[in-house]
Amino acid sequence: MKASELLSYIDEMDSFKRYGRVKRVVGLMIESQGPESSIGNVCFIHAGTKGNKKLIQAEVVGFRDEYVILMPYTAVSEISPGCLVEASARPLDIKVGAGLIGKVIDSLGYPLDGSPIPKGLASVPTEQDPPNPMERPPIDDPIDVGVRMIDSLLTVGKGQRVGIFAGSGVGKSTLLGMVARNTTADLNVIGLIGERGREVREFIEKDLGPEGLARSIVVVATSDQPALMRIKGAFTATAIAEYFRDKGLNVMLMMDSVTRVAMAQREIGLAVGEPPTTKGYTPSVFATLPRLLERTGTNQFGTITAFYTVLVDGDDMNEPIADTVRGILDGHFILDRQLANKGQFPALNVLKSISRVMNNIVDVRHKESAENLRATLSTYIESEDLINIGAYKRGTSKEIDNAIKKHPQIISFLKQGTHEKASKDDSIEKLVQLMEKGE
> Per residue in 102-152, pLDDT tens?
999 999 999 998 889 999 899 999 999 999 999 999 999 999 999 999 999
How much is the average pLDDT of 85-109?
93
Whether the upstream peptide bond of residue 257 has omega within 30° of 0, thus cis, is yes
Give residue 406's pLDDT band: very low, low, confident or very high (50, 70, 90).
very high
Distance between CA atoms of residues 2 and 4, nearest Å: 5
Question: 413 pLDDT exceeds 70?
Answer: yes
Q: Which residue has the higher pLDDT, 8 or 195?
A: 195
Give me the half-sphere count of Cα atoms (radius 13 Å) on the Cβ side of residue 237: 34
Question: 16 pLDDT exceeds 80?
Answer: no
Q: Which residues pair with 63 in a beta bridge?
A: 68
> Per residue in 246-277, pLDDT tens?
999 999 999 998 999 999 999 999 988 899 98
Question: 234 pLDDT exceeds 60?
Answer: yes
Distance between CA atoms of residues 263 and 280, nearest Å: 10
pTM: 0.92
CATH number (3.40.190.10, 3.40.50.2300, 2.40.128.20, 2.40.10.170) of 18-91 reads 2.40.10.170
pLDDT of residue 52: 77
pLDDT of residue 14: 61
For the chain, residues classed under CATH 3.40.50.12240 are 94-358
Report the Cα–Cα distance between both ends of the chain, in Å, rounded. 72
pLDDT of residue 437: 75
Kindly tell me the number of DSSP H helices and DSSP E strands found in the chain.
Answer: 14, 17
How much is the average pLDDT of 94-103?
95
Distance between CA atoms of residues 235 and 126, nearest Å: 6
Nearest to 59 by CA among 78, 32, 83, 81: 32
How much is the average pLDDT of 7-34?
79
pLDDT of residue 336: 92
pLDDT of residue 75: 77
- Among the residues of 362-397, which ranges form H helices? 364-388
Alpha-carbon dihedral angle through residues 174, 410, 408, 206, given to the nearest 10 degrees? -10
Give residue 11's pLDDT band: very low, low, confident or very high (50, 70, 90).
low
> Per residue in 317-353, pLDDT tens?
778 999 999 999 999 999 999 999 888 999 999 999 9
Kindly report the CATH class assigned to 365-437.
mainly alpha
Residues with Cβ within 8 Å of 364's Cβ and at least 6 positions away in sequence, in order, are none
How many C-beta atoms surround the C-beta of residue 183 within 10 A? 24
Calculate ∠ Cα 197-174-415, nearest 5°.
165
- Would you say 334 and 325 are in contact if contact means Cβ atoms under 8 Å apart? no
Give residue 15's pLDDT band: very low, low, confident or very high (50, 70, 90).
low
For the chain, residues classed under CATH 2.40.10.170 are 18-91
pLDDT of residue 68: 93
pLDDT of residue 26: 84
Nearest to 87 by CA among 19, 23, 21, 13: 19
Distance between CA atoms of residues 350 and 148, nearest Å: 12
- Would you say 297 and 136 are in contact if contact means Cβ atoms under 8 Å apart? yes
3-state SS, 100-146, equals: HCCCEECCCCCECCCCCCCCCCEEEECCCCCCCHHHCCCCCCECCCC
Which percentage of the chain shows pLDDT scores above 70? 95
Question: 1 pLDDT exceeds 60?
Answer: no
Q: Which residue has the higher pLDDT, 266 or 385?
A: 266
pLDDT of residue 9: 60
State the architecture of 94-358 in CATH terms: 3-Layer(aba) Sandwich (3.40)
